[in-house]
Amino acid sequence: MDTTRGISSEWIKRAAKATGWEGELTRRGFLKLSACALTSLAFLDLGEAYGENAPLVILDNAQGVILADPTRCVACGRCELACTEYNDGRAQPSLARIKIARAVNFGPSGPTGGEAMHGDWGDGLVIQGVCRQCPHPVPCATACPQNAIVADPQTGARVVDAAQCLGCRLCQQACPWGMIAFDEKAGVAAKCTLCKGKPKCVEACPAAALRYVPWRDLTRDGSPTRPTLSVVPPETAKACLDCHVTAGAKATK
Amino acid sequence: MAVGSGGFVGKVLRVDLSTGKITTEDTHERYAGLLGGAGIGYRVLWDEVPAGTGPFDAANKLVFATGPLVGTSVPCNGRATVTTLFPTCWPKPLVGSGHMGGHFAAKLKYAGYDALIVEGQADKPVWLMIRDARVEIRDARHLWGSGIRRATLEISQELGPDCVVAAIGQAGENLAPMGMVINSVSHSAGGVGGIMGGKNLKAVAVQGSGAVRIAGDKAAWEALVKFHLSILGANNQHVVPSFPTPQAEYYNPASRWVGQPGKRWGAAKPPLELPGNIHDPNSIAFRTNSAVYFLGDEAWKYTVRGNGCTACPIRCHTMLKMPSVTAKYGIPDMGQNTCVALMFGRTFFKQLANKKNNETAMEACMVGMHLADDLGLWSNYGQLQRDLRKLYEGGYLKARLGSKEYASIPWDKYDSADPAFLLDLLPRIANRQGELGEVLSRGTGAIFDHWSIPESEWAGDHATTYWKMGHPKHHANEDDGQCGVIINTQYNRDAQCHSHTNFVRNGLPLEVQKKLAAAIWGSPDALDAPGDYTPANVPKARRAKWSLLRKELHDALGVCNWMGPWAASPLRERGYTGDDSLESKFLSLATGQTMDREELDRVAERIFTLHRALTIRDMGRVDMRAAHDIVPPWVFEDPSGKAALTKGTIRMDPADIAKAMDYFYEVMGWDKATGAPSQARYAELGLAEVGEALAAAKLTPEAAK
Question: Given this model, what pLDDT does residue A37 score?
Answer: 43
CB A109 within 8 A of CB A117: yes
* CA B531/CA B638 separation, integer angstroms: 12
Q: Which among B259, B235, B229 has a CA at the least distance from the CA of B245?
A: B259
Helix, strand, or coil (residue A158) = strand
Band the pLDDT of A252: cuts 50, 70, 90.
low
- Tell if the CB–CB gap between A77 and B321 is shorter than 8 Å: no
DSSP B125-163: -EEEEEETTEEEEEE-TTTTT--HHHHHHHHHHHH-TT-
Question: Going from the N-terminus, what domains does chain B have, and what CATH number goes with each?
Answer: 11-207 (3.60.9.10), 232-468 (1.10.569.10), 473-564+596-704 (1.10.599)
**Which residues of chain B neighbour A123 with C-beta distances below 8 Å?**
304, 321, 334
Mutate to test the interface with A, among B305, B336, B337 (most CBs of A within 10 A): B305
**Which residues of chain A neighbour B334 with C-beta distances below 8 Å?**
122-124
Among positive and negative, which fits the CA dihedral B5, B686, B660, B623?
negative
Q: Which among B31, B43, B22, B21 has a CA at the least distance from the CA of B1?
A: B31
Side chain identity at residue B702, one-letter code: E
Q: Which residues of B382-400 are buried (b: 16+ CB within 10 A; e: fewer)?
A: bbbbbbbbbbbeeebbeeb
CB atoms within 10 A of CB B223: 12
Question: Given this model, what pLDDT does residue A35 score?
Answer: 38
**Which residues of chain A neighbour B307 with C-beta distances below 8 Å?**
74-75, 120, 124
**Gap from B215 CA to chain A (nearest CA, Å):** 8
- Tell if the CB–CB gap between B310 and A74 is shorter than 8 Å: no
- Residue ranges of alpha helices (H) inside B287-382 are 290-295, 324-329, 339-342, 359-375
Report domain extents, chain A. 1-55+233-253, 62-133+144-231
Mutate to test the interface with B, among A83, A121, A226 (most CBs of B within 10 A): A121
- Tell if the CB–CB gap between B270 and A71 is shorter than 8 Å: yes
Question: Given this model, what pLDDT does residue A14 score?
Answer: 58
Q: Which residues of A111-128 are buried (b: 16+ CB within 10 A; e: fewer)?
A: beeeeebbbbbbbbbbbb
Give pLDDT tens digits for A133-174. 999 999 999 999 999 999 999 999 999 999 999 999 999 999
- Tell if the CB–CB gap between A90 and B269 is shorter than 8 Å: no
Question: Given this model, what pLDDT does residue A5 score?
Answer: 44
- Tell if the CB–CB gap between B214 and A90 is shorter than 8 Å: yes
Band the pLDDT of A16: cuts 50, 70, 90.
low
* CA B224/CA B100 separation, integer angstroms: 25
Q: Which among B325, B333, B393, B314 has a CA at the least distance from the CA of B361?
A: B325
The residue of chain B with its CA nearest to that of A92 is B211
Task: Chunk chain B into consecutive blocks of 10 residues (it has 705) and report each block's average pLDDT, rounded to whole numbers.
Answer: 75 98 96 94 98 97 98 97 98 98 98 98 98 98 98 98 98 98 98 98 98 96 98 98 98 98 97 97 98 98 98 98 98 97 98 97 98 98 98 97 97 98 98 98 98 98 97 98 98 98 98 98 97 98 98 98 97 98 98 96 98 98 98 97 97 98 98 98 98 98 94
**ipTM score assigned to the predicted complex:** 0.96
CB atoms within 10 A of CB B274: 19
Greater model confidence, A125 or A225: A125
Question: Given this model, what pLDDT does residue A236 score?
Answer: 80
Question: Given this model, what pLDDT does residue A46 score?
Answer: 40
The residue of chain B with its CA nearest to that of A83 is B73
CB B61 within 8 A of CB B84: yes
Q: Is the pLDDT of residue A1 over 50?
A: no
The residue of chain B with its CA nearest to that of A99 is B162
CB atoms within 10 A of CB B243: 18
**Gap from B165 CA to chain A (nearest CA, Å):** 10
- Tell if the CB–CB gap between B103 and A90 is shorter than 8 Å: no
**Gap from B383 CA to chain A (nearest CA, Å):** 28
- For chain A, which residues lie within 8 Å of any Cβ of chain B, measuring from their own Cβ? 71-78, 81-82, 84-86, 89-95, 101-102, 104-106, 110-111, 113, 120-125, 184-185, 203-208
